[in-house]
Chain A
Amino acid sequence: MSEIVLTKLNKHYGGMHHAVRNIDLTIGDKEFITLVGPSGCGKSTTLRMIAGLEEITSGEIRIGGTLVNHLPPRDRDVAMVFQNYALYQHMSVFDNLAFGLRNKKVPEAEIKKAIRNAADILGLGELMQRKPRQLSGGQQQRVALGRCIVRNPKVFLFDEPLSNLDAKLRIQMRVEIKRLRARVPTTSVFVTHDQVEAMTLGDRVVVMKDGYIQQCGTPLQVYGEPANKFVAGFIGSPSMNFFEVGIHAQDGELIAQTPFLRARVSERYKAALAAWNGRTVILGVRPEHLRVNASDVDPIGKVEIEVIEQLGSEILLETRAGDLSMTVARVNPQLPVAAGDVIQLSVPSDQLHFFDPETESAIR
């Protein structure tokens, strides 16, 4: 069993900088958690505290039930993949992989076996005698992964391991990590600032900002039911459109209205939004949920096209209605549109999101 439990975890750098604030998180045995958030939000710091590379200011970390607050890294039985791989440059690939096992005085025969096994999983076979300098980024990445696998640790920690790779290799390595997970299920924490990586890899996604956890949930939860405006805007690409709307009741319905747009509130949000009757809230709608000139869903208003981005598989539109600007995605690439055209937008009413303008938390 290697559950990780973080309780009221805090990290201060020096007197002033509060990098990680009151983190409470339970990572189940063999669960794969991704930590995502903008630069400087405390992801690496959290991960390094779990690894034991960074001192904890207050709070508790338990791995497999044991309190590890004061254990040095080597007694925690974790393995870590660093952003820059941190390979031992002067050692061959084989020696890099063997180093951790030799530390534990594992017999050479067993080391060979473990390395052959890892090399099979990662396709490192012919590279064994090379030095890290003689490898491509993706190969170095695989060696770094291999170094963790051979040790067969309780916990895998990843600190943005894919961020140095080019886009294509990144996708390839993403799949490879998924494959690795299936073969060697291990409790894992994966830090990234790329929300696509976070969504595709994680059993659960933890969204962080300014040292706080904003939301923790399955990829579907953080996408479909964002806890607040930040998560709503951070997850999903292109990011969600936001604007202020007034709420008022009409004919037993609740209506969200701006001078340019008008949407009916669905049954789903009605109860929660009733309290906001006559006040202003923030409405969020994802670009991919907007439809152009659709007749079968509720229309919300007319907008003028400003910019057209043809991607071949879809069209992205930047549109404007008065002082509101709105991005529309997944437009049929064959649709004949031109800048300046006025189009009718519509959206299924249960795909609208509402946020408290003060606290920015979701209203549901």
Chain B
Amino acid sequence: MSWRNALRNSFGEQQRFMLLLIAPAVTLLVLFQAVPIFIGGSASFRDWMLTNPKKTWVGLAQYISVLTDPAFLEIVLPNTFLFMFASVTISLAFGMALALALNRPFRAQKVVQTILLLPLMVAPVIAAIMMRWMFNDQFGIVNVVLETLGGEPRAWLVDRWSAFAIIVLTDCWLWIPWFALLLLAGLQSLPKSPFEAAAIDGTTPWRVFRHLTVPMLRPVIIVCIVIRSIDAFRTFDIVWALTGGGPARQTELFSIYAYETAFVFLDFGKGSAAAITGGLIILVVGLLLYRILDHVRKVSL
């Protein structure tokens, strides 16, 4: 009875109602986010393998082992950042081009827009498997086309850089429509009259793009870049389905590395440490990115 009274005394009617409303969400969040994070965090300080389930406390040893692992430093981190940069830049550029092309009335506009959205509705894993078959060295359509054109068929997914390029290609294919959609919405919400004024002022299309469209669209662009960068950093599914991190762990991104360490090599301690290290890195990178881009925006306003 007394905690009830305490509750009643310390919160107003409206506040109690709000607490009631957020209670289910909070419960779920605690059960499925906070608890696993806590377990993972705790695991990262222990020596915990399937073959050695004693969970001895080892302090920062697992982190040191991750951070001194040449595979992590020389392959995984560069791969992850390169992937993030390439995927975001390319999809931003193509998404912008598409949005600009769609932002003028033409016949069949609706049809084209719908077709464009299709990749957004395809599950990444399915897209990746599709791509894997297209680039298959024996049955793939790409090699067939290449051969009829007189080219040399290649084992695309066996070479590090061609495999990496296919991963980036798949990711771009999936995400260009997303960029196009958001940028198109942004373009359509821009006021018309500055563009009309520019037309009367005799501005070339390139100067309109460079001096009006991009600066006016900057807030949308920034949000897109930040969201997509963070998301790209965590990419797992398409890499797993396309190359599984191979050939010989050459295309591993950070999340594949953490997953393999924990669930393939069954070193839960080190896997958790890798996951948490990655989480911290993306936290810092995301914040920095946002700061920098937002600063650019403020300066230009």
Instruction: Report if B212 contacts A (CB, 8 A).
Output: yes
- Residue contact B200 to A88, C-beta cutoff 8 Å: no
Residue of A nearest to B301 (CB): A90
1/0 per position for A257-299, CB-CB distance to B under 8 A? 0000000000000000000000000000000000000000000
Main SS at interface, chain B: helix
- For window 185-212 of chain B, which residues contact chain A by CB distance below 8 Å? 191, 193-194, 196-204, 207, 211-212
A202 to chain B, nearest CB (A): 22
Instruction: Report if B5 contacts A (CB, 8 A).
Output: no
Cα distance, A100 to B208, chains bound together (Å): 11
- Residue contact B199 to A72, C-beta cutoff 8 Å: yes
A26 to chain B, nearest CB (A): 22
**Chain B residues bordering chain A, tally (CB within 8 A):** 19
Instruction: Report if B266 contacts A (CB, 8 A).
Output: no
Q: Beyond A89-B216, A99-B211, A103-B207, is A74–B196 a contact (Cβ under 8 Å)? A: no
- Residue contact A82 to B197, C-beta cutoff 8 Å: yes
> Which residues from chain B contact A131 at a C-beta distance below 8 Å?
301
> Which residues from chain B contact A74 at a C-beta distance below 8 Å?
199-203
Cα distance, A196 to B199, chains bound together (Å): 31
Instruction: Report if A6 contacts B (CB, 8 A).
Output: no
- Residue contact A100 to B193, C-beta cutoff 8 Å: no
Between A and B, how many residue pairs show CB distances below 8 Å?
Answer: 67
B73 to chain A, nearest CB (A): 42
Given A51, A53, A72, A87, which contacts B194 in the complex, CB threshold below 8 Å?
Answer: A87
Given B193, B198, B202, B211, which contacts A84 in the complex, CB threshold below 8 Å?
Answer: B193
> Which residues from chain A contact B198 at a C-beta distance below 8 Å?
88, 99
**Chain A residues bordering chain B, tally (CB within 8 A):** 27
1/0 per position for A85-121, CB-CB distance to B under 8 A? 0111111000000011001100000000000000000
A78 to chain B, nearest CB (A): 6
- List 13 A–B pairs whose Cβ atoms lie within 8 Å, in order of A's numbering: A52-B199, A82-B197, A84-B191, A86-B194, A88-B194, A88-B198, A88-B212, A89-B216, A99-B201, A99-B203, A99-B211, A100-B202, A103-B207
List the interface of chain B (C-beta within 8 A of A): 191, 193-194, 196-204, 207, 211-212, 215-216, 300-301
Closest 8 CB pairs of A and B: A74-B202, A86-B193, A100-B201, A86-B197, A90-B215, A73-B199, A73-B200, A103-B202
Given contacts A100-B203, A103-B203, 18 further A-B contacts (CB under 8 A): A73-B200, A73-B202, A74-B201, A74-B203, A76-B200, A80-B196, A80-B200, A82-B197, A84-B191, A86-B193, A86-B196, A86-B197, A88-B212, A89-B216, A89-B301, A99-B198, A103-B202, A133-B301
